[in-house]
Amino acid sequence: MTDEPHPFVHRALITGASLGIGEAFARRLAADGWDLVLVARDPGRLDATAAELTRRYDRRVETIPADLSTDDGCAAVERRLAAEPPVELLVNNAGTSLNTAFVRSAVEDEARLLRLNVLAVLRLTHAALGPMIERGGGAVINVSSVAGFGVPMPGSTYSASKAWVTNFTESIGQSVAPLGVRVMALCPGYTRTGYHERAGIDMSRTPAWMWLRADDVVDEGLRDLRKGKLVSVPSWKYKLVVAGLRHAPRRLLRAASRDTRGRVGRSGE
């Protein structure tokens, strides 16, 4: 983003900011001169990330320890989005998946997934848009996944939650664009963030060519935001995958998804 002036005042709020894609967003924006508001569940990791960014880039970094699968956690971030100094860029990156088939998982875990992947995205997007529309500028990036493009992952609600994020974001993006505000879904494929290892998800059969770097995902996402895109799919290889998913017969998609043998993964955080 240093190749041209950025259209927004330099303050961004990033959820899931202490790991993976969220941390990559924080590093990139701090390097480009943005002040940051970082949100994550783990206060220790969050403070360490903030301290490192402050030391390396000499930026102001606020922190909000919050579990966005709870009402209290969402409310804390909503209050910051409504406060001064204003947030010009919201990155809704926090999300999760379950390494358990739906029929074997606890309904409480499934509900938590939906609260984090869907309800928190809805609430924080809504909280950010009011002030942005009033100022006549701002942007929201909702981190989704290529899994949301009609991939029926066996026994998983993850792909369904990401389908909602992409559809919701594209819809809202169209409605607020005439008001000077951009809303974009960022839909990466498999991204090396350490998430799968921490979650105990076996990705050993995933070909090396399918993996993306978090920094590359962020770079392409920010370029697409500047271009005014509603949906960003980083990497030409995943653009081809998504084009195929959009046109492939549903029976072929179901057969392909069965070949994963129930492997459940996620792209983000």
CATH at 189: 3.40.50.720
Q: Which residue has the higher pLDDT, 268 or 183?
A: 183
Whether residue 268 lies inside any domain: the answer is no
Whole-number pLDDT of residue 23: 97
Whether residue 100 lies inside any domain: the answer is yes
With a cut of 80, say whether residue 10 has pLDDT above it: yes
Find out whether the peptide bond into 188 is cis, omega within 30 degrees of 0.
no
Q: Rounded mean pLDDT of 28-55?
A: 97
Whether residue 19 lies inside any domain: the answer is yes
Query: What are the C-alpha distances in Å from 69 to residues 42, 113, 114, 160, 161?
Result: 13, 8, 8, 17, 14
- CB proximity list for 71: less than 8 A, separation 6 or greater: none
Whole-number pLDDT of residue 57: 96
Q: Which two tokens stand for residue 155?
A: 């026994």
The count of domains in the chain is: 1
Number of other CB atoms surrounding residue 210 within 10 Å: 14
Whether residue 224 lies inside any domain: the answer is yes
Whether residue 27 lies inside any domain: the answer is yes
Q: Rounded mean pLDDT of 194-200?
A: 53
Q: Which residue has the higher pLDDT, 269 or 144?
A: 144
With a cut of 60, say whether residue 25 has pLDDT above it: yes
Q: 56-85, pLDDT tens digit by residue?
A: 999 999 999 999 999 999 999 999 999 999
Band of residue 250 on the pLDDT scale cut at 50, 70, 90: low
**Residue 43, SS3?**
helix
C-alpha–C-alpha distance, residues 127 and 145, integer Å = 23
Q: Which of 62-66, 103-107, 218-222, 261-265 has the lowest average pLDDT?
A: 261-265
Whether residue 265 lies inside any domain: the answer is no
With a cut of 50, say whether residue 264 has pLDDT above it: no
Q: Which two tokens stand for residue 205?
A: 């059969």
C-alpha–C-alpha distance, residues 262 and 125, integer Å = 32
Number of other CB atoms surrounding residue 145 within 10 Å: 29
Band of residue 48 on the pLDDT scale cut at 50, 70, 90: very high
Q: Rounded mean pLDDT of 204-209?
A: 68
Band of residue 152 on the pLDDT scale cut at 50, 70, 90: low
> Quick one: DSSP state of residue 194?
S
Whether residue 1 lies inside any domain: the answer is no
Q: Say if residues 137 and 86 touch (Cβ distance below 8 Å).
A: no
Is 190 annotated as catalytic? no
Q: Say if residues 49 and 17 touch (Cβ distance below 8 Å).
A: yes
Which of 57, 158, 190, 238 does the annotation list as catalytic? 158
C-alpha–C-alpha distance, residues 112 and 200, integer Å = 18
Whether residue 267 lies inside any domain: the answer is no
With a cut of 60, say whether residue 268 has pLDDT above it: no
Whole-number pLDDT of residue 183: 98
Domain extent for 110? 11-258
Helix-helix angle 120-135:158-176, to 10 degrees = 10
Query: What is the torsional sign of CA 229, 233, 239, 243?
Result: negative
With a cut of 60, say whether residue 267 has pLDDT above it: no
Average pLDDT, the chain: 86
